[in-house]
């Protein structure tokens, strides 16, 4: 098995799978997560091959766009990795990262846990793409995709959601900042992820202040 060829084939596979994806969860999202994961992994002494594969494959079948089915992505990834002659141990590790990367899993305290340095890196890379300037753009892009209101002062954020409530939420887009985006800084695993998250988090706070000022006719 040639690792460089496997990575090249994985990129081609993911581009094909996501060619019609929603703009916030498309190939460019995956590419950014991949680049962030490589950057973070330099300081974390990880298996870069596992990190690369998991970052590239993590969103090939996001449950949000597959009727909530959380099995499709891992199954597609497993079949692809087998076809690429990736060692079974490596493939299992990659798929376990895919199964445990999502923020919604933080709501389920009874779920079986899986931890590895590679998961920590890829999870941070994915979460970084959900905050800051790009995170804001992705948030509103998805809200538009789901035809959600931008903001409704009478609908307050739900800060005590279950996993199911989070998955089924139809709240205005601004609420998602409080229900997820502004929480991510405290959920970073690595020193590099935490450092990058600080700046992106601060930008979101500035953005929200400006948003409310404009909404209320103050500026």
CB 178 within 8 A of CB 187: no
CA nearest to 125, candidates 36, 187, 214, 39 = 36
Contact 205, 183 (CB under 8 A): no
* Continuous H helices in 47-110: 48-57, 72-83, 88-100
Q: What is the pLDDT of residues 135-159, one digit of tens each?
A: 999 999 999 998 999 999 999 998 8
Segment 29-78, tens digit of pLDDT = 999 999 999 999 988 889 999 999 999 999 886 666 666 666 788 899 99
* Share above pLDDT 90 across residues of the chain, in percent, rounded to a whole number: 71
pLDDT of 115 above 90: no
pLDDT given at position 167: 72
In contact, 6 and 84? CB cutoff 8 Å: yes
Model confidence, pTM: 0.88
Task: Give dist(CA 86, CA 91) in Å, integer.
Answer: 6
Q: What are all long-range contacts of 34-40, with beta carbons under 8 Å and residues at least 24 apart?
A: 34/125, 36/124, 36/125, 36/128, 36/129, 36/196, 37/121, 37/122, 37/124, 37/125, 39/125, 39/192, 40/121, 40/124, 40/125, 40/190, 40/192, 40/193
- Domains of the chain in sequence order: 3-215 (1.10.3210.50)
List the end-to-end C-alpha distance of the chain, in Å, as a whole number: 60
């Amino acid at each position: 098995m040639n690792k460089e060829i496997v990575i090249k084939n994985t990129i081609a596979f993911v581009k094909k799978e996501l060619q019609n994806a929603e703009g916030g969860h498309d190939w460019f999202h995956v590419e950014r997560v991949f680049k962030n994961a490589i950057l973070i992994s330099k300081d974390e002494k990880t298996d870069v091959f596992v990190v690369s594969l998991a970052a590239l494959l993590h969103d090939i079948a996001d449950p949000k766009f597959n009727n909530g089915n959380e099995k499709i992505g891992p199954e597609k990834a497993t079949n692809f990795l087998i076809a690429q002659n990736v060692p079974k141990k490596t493939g299992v590790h990659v798929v376990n990262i895919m199964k445990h990367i999502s923020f919604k899993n933080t709501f389920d305290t009874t779920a079986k846990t899986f931890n590895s340095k590679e998961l920590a890196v890829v999870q941070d890379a994915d979460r970084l793409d959900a905050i800051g300037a790009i995170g804001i753009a992705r948030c509103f892009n998805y809200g538009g995709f789901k035809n959600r209101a931008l903001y409704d002062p009478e609908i307050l954020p739900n800060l005590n959601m279950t996993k199911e409530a989070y998955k089924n939420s139809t709240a205005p887009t601004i609420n998602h900042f409080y229900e997820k985006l502004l929480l991510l800084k405290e959920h970073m695993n690595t020193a590099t992820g935490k450092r990058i998250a600080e700046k992106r988090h601060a930008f979101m706070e500035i953005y929200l202040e400006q948003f409310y000022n404009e909404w209320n006719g103050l500026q």
